[in-house]
Structure 1
């Protein structure tokens, strides 16, 4: 593959990003193929509108998508849950290769070394968990006795949540896996009973494949730095180098999107956790779009709403839709539509059609506050 550098306009880069995320009028038709292409779908069970994974699928597949489709695929073993994401089962071995390298490449950072020492100090608890899961099978964290000797300390909400901390490390080590859920409770089991039984690939090969899959799903991404806060994934040498006019630094682009196929634009409402907008820096640079998920922001300081949905129109992000599934009154409640552009009549009509489609998918009437 040639490594000759290409230069893109910002509009070309945006078009590549939208096409790679399957958000053009050429919709995918199969859920499994969709997730295979995206590489993963993040799990977030906050259902202010609907759980994020379902919104991601709906925004691509359209009104024919049903949440049971995803749930059934998980039950069949088509996907595995890793790091709060659903991963195609055939890709799990590449993640397990990274787990076998826990806590990361040397030289270890201070927090990585501290994790090793803390887990070693609580090795008896770790062994208790393995024994309990071996006998009992899928078990929620709340049902596992806390036998840690050294409490987990952090400055955040995980402070003193000892069993959760042990389980998190055991998941990252590849000893324990998420086996399912009961309501909001995560069920844990031995990884050997959850993940497909296949040989682990060499770590460098696994990383190269994951980087290539990530770039295929994103279309274009920064060449350096960790791409995801949950995992040590870098683009490395995937794709080819690119420059984007008006932006500093080097990017990597998947050459499959450098053909002359024109984008067929459409309008879409996105989950706040959608990968098109999840990297806020990339979103700001390519789309010149200011966005933040405000569910963790004090109500008085929110600009757009608790779970405001980014609005895509063609290759531009044009606004934020503050909308809520009001279950108490059986309606889809639209609080506000915050425009980032001066909307034309055609744009307003296109967004209103998407709101109507969202309501139809949720089987709810639309009410504008």
Structure 2
């Protein structure tokens, strides 16, 4: 049986903290999928997820590796995600289901096909002729002398993306998706679909390795296998039978837990890693009940709440230090002034050194010239900012 401390250490190790990476895209390879988000209060979530593990890096160079060098692709992983290109075959069944309006497809997919069937050929013809296009590129005159309506075209593009007919060739201004034929994005034809059973099996094994130790539903949720109605329970049973996943127990957890067999061989202690503020959408934080059970940390994401209903703030980043979640900061990067604004700070057991170091690291990554505490400050908060500025 694993102790709570050992389970927590396995979770942090499995998420790639404390490793030495050759390049930033290796973090994607380690995690399998990284959730995308357009909010840019500090930096975009996917950029922060890589930063918290790799440290400072050139974001433009990373995007080139993802898109131009085809190290990753965009699709529905956990949510809208970057996914390791090595796993693209495992998502072909999802695309096939979307084409057939099967499990995973929504009423929106059917509705757009019913209402805008005439747009599909026109959209594809323009992309074939002009190359990657954004939805806004379709504003203007249609070949028949009419006008493109931006909203229906965007829905058609998104449906073709869901089907795997189009893929994301990169991101334009304002994080807008640039669509192109899948064969152009991949540089080859899409791989064969291994089938729902095989895809579920391999994703279950990958998810377990990236969680360290988890409940069955947590394993399924990493790649949203339940949402896609994948046969994940049978896949998990088969993976245990084959020795690809190990059954275990964790003190204080109810029922069977599942772990990466190699991880159980140790070490079962937290990895050495630098203190880091995590994106609120970081893989480690995807499952809030799991975060509460494993780390004893109440993670909140209040961006969609009215200001008066927020407990902490708009964009609050939890702190990971010494294998523990403790402390958080409401941050915003003022790009015009080149200042990292600390709009709220809660130590919650974290040391001033750890918080100050993490603030300095993220400020350096952003290129901020200064760090400013805009929230009401006591002596502890002031000391943290002093340490951050002096690092």
What TM-score range do you get, normalising by the shorter chain?
Answer: 0.7 to 0.9
**Mapped partners of 1:335, 1:12: distance in 2:** 34
**Mapped partners of 2:108, 2:336: distance in 1:** 47
Q: Is the 8 A contact 1:29 1:61 kept in 2?
A: no
Alpha-carbon displacement from aligned partner over 1:213-238 (angstroms, at most 9, x marks no partner): 22222222331354455963647414
Q: Is the 8 A contact 2:166 2:180 kept in 1?
A: yes
Residue among 137, 146, 151 paired with 1:143: 137
**Mapped partners of 2:99, 2:288: distance in 1:** 27
| TM-score, reference length from structure 1 | 0.83
Partner SS for 2:98: coil
How far is the alpha carbon of 1:123 from its aligned partner? 2.6
Q: Which residue of 1 aligns with 2:164?
A: 174
Q: Is the 8 A contact 1:94 1:200 kept in 2?
A: no
Partner SS for 1:100: helix
How far is the alpha carbon of 1:114 from its aligned partner? 6.9
Q: Does 1:85 align with 2:81?
A: yes
C-alpha RMSD over aligned residues? 2.7
Q: Which residue of 2 aligns with 1:154?
A: none
Q: Does 1:321 align with 2:329?
A: yes
How far is the alpha carbon of 1:92 from its aligned partner? 1.6
**Mapped partners of 1:278, 1:289: distance in 2:** 13
**Mapped partners of 2:108, 2:340: distance in 1:** 47
Q: Which residue of 1 aligns with 2:93?
A: 97
Residue among 199, 207, 218 paired with 1:214: 207
How far is the alpha carbon of 1:113 from its aligned partner? 6.3
| Number of equivalenced pairs | 343
Residue among 299, 311, 326 paired with 1:303: 311
Structure 2 spans left out of the alignment, 5+ residues: 143-149, 240-244, 375-391
Alpha-carbon displacement from aligned partner over 1:1-35 (angstroms, at most 9, x marks no partner): xxxxxx322222111110011123x4434323221
| Structure 1 residues 104 and 278: CA distance shift in structure 2, 3 A | farther
- Residues 103-122 of structure 1 aligned to structure 2 (within 5 Å): 108=103, 112=106, 115-116=109-110, 118-122=112-116
**Mapped partners of 2:100, 2:326: distance in 1:** 40
Q: Is the 8 A contact 2:157 2:166 kept in 1?
A: yes
Higher percent of residues as helix: 2
**Mapped partners of 1:356, 1:46: distance in 2:** 22
How far is the alpha carbon of 1:68 from its aligned partner? 2.4
Higher mean C-alpha displacement, 81-90 vs 220-229 = 220-229
Q: Is the 8 A contact 2:347 2:355 kept in 1?
A: no
- Residues 1-369 of structure 1 aligned to structure 2 (within 5 Å): 7-24=1-18, 26-63=19-56, 65-73=57-65, 74-83=67-76, 84-102=80-98, 108=103, 112=106, 115-116=109-110, 118-144=112-138, 161-184=151-174, 185-195=176-186, 196-203=188-195, 204-224=197-217, 226-228=221-223, 232=228, 234=232, 236-237=235-236, 238=239, 239-261=245-267, 262-266=269-273, 267-341=275-349, 343=350, 347-364=351-368, 365-369=370-374
| Structure 1 residues 189 and 247: CA distance shift in structure 2, 3 A | same
**Mapped partners of 1:194, 1:60: distance in 2:** 28
Partner SS for 2:344: strand
How far is the alpha carbon of 1:75 from its aligned partner? 2.3
Partner SS for 2:97: coil
Alpha-carbon displacement from aligned partner over 1:269-328 (angstroms, at most 9, x marks no partner): 111110001211211221121112221111111112111111112232112111211123
How far is the alpha carbon of 1:119 from its aligned partner? 2.0
Q: Which residue of 2 aligns with 1:153?
A: none
| TM-score, reference length from structure 2 | 0.79
**Mapped partners of 2:64, 2:28: distance in 1:** 14
| Structure 1 residues 250 and 167: CA distance shift in structure 2, 3 A | farther
**Mapped partners of 2:114, 2:127: distance in 1:** 19
How far is the alpha carbon of 1:201 from its aligned partner? 3.5
